[in-house]
Amino acid sequence: MHLDAIDLKDFYACPLGAVVRRLLGARIKARFADVKGASVFGLGFASPYLASLRGEASPLGALLPAELGAIAWPEQGRSLSVLVDETELPLDDESADRLLLVHMLEWSEKSRALLRELWRVLKPNGRLLLVVPNRRGLWARVDTTPFGYGSPFSRRQLALLLKEAMFSPEEWEYALYMPPFNWRILLKWPLFWERLGLVLWPTFSGVILVEATKQVYAAVPARETRKVRRRIVPVPAGVTPRALHPSP
């Protein structure tokens, strides 16, 4: 079970969602500090964190899995978002410098195929950044935020999954130590609660961030059939996957 794109947009528009975007956005921006002229793509619901990269990364795109539905992003100007099949991304082999996964891996029913597809499109020197709910954290146990849906991960589980897909986990980070409640005392001083949580309950963060590189020396399994990849097309606001593929 997971939320759709409208639910995610509404969450990031609420006070708690704005704090989450601020806290996680700072961590992600620090990891994407050197993307001027680089090709950057976010998969899942990554647009709240891609906004700060506009004007730096080129190309820049938000890839929304068809199960979430579509929301045009940005709201003004040329659309940079598109509906995709998570296992058949409309990108060339080794075409992405950076990939960001947010609100994706924990909801995917094809996590291994998804990661192998990301391996295909990532450049040999590219980097993959995943943001997933921490199995130990309180955020994974409360369904009032998007992090309370899907299957959360432990660090060990995430490391094994990445290695099976021929990725090497390089750097780990933890975030969202503040309780996941829309209380004024929490929202007024989020940095204080983050620092307090880091000291008092360091293993119970809300999310795990891991940056990984691809193992270019590993053998790539041959595919039995040649797949025709769907090309990228702009998606207008409010359009659903069914509307894009009407019944005959």
- What would the pLDDT profile of 95-145 be if each residue is shown by its tens digit? 999 999 999 999 999 999 999 999 999 999 999 999 999 999 999 999 999
Domain positions in the chain? 5-244
SS3 of residue 102 by DSSP: strand
Thinking of the domain 5-244, which architecture would CATH place it in? 3-Layer(aba) Sandwich (3.40)
Is residue 140 a contact partner of residue 112, using CB atoms and an 8 Å limit? Answer: no
How high is the pLDDT of residue 229?
A: 54
Query: How is residue 167 annotated by DSSP?
Result: E
**Structure pTM?**
0.86
Res. 230 pLDDT band, cuts 50 70 90: low
Asked if pLDDT for residue 200 goes beyond 60, the answer is: yes
How high is the pLDDT of residue 245?
A: 43
Q: Name residue 129's beta-bridge partners.
A: 100, 211
What angle separates helix 5-13 from helix 15-31, to the nearest 10 degrees?
100
Tally of helices (H runs) and strands (E runs) in the chain: 8, 7
Which tops the pLDDT comparison, 185 or 236? 185
Distance of CA 67 to the CA centre of its chain: 15
Is residue 73 a contact partner of residue 9, using CB atoms and an 8 Å limit? Answer: no
Query: How is residue 237 annotated by DSSP?
Result: T
Strands (E), 12-115: 40-44, 60-65, 81-84, 96-102
In sign, the C-alpha dihedral spanning 143, 148, 149, 150 is negative
- For residue range 27-86, list pLDDT tens digits in order: 999 999 889 999 999 999 999 999 999 989 999 999 999 989 888 899 888 899 999 999
Distance of CA 35 to the CA centre of its chain: 17
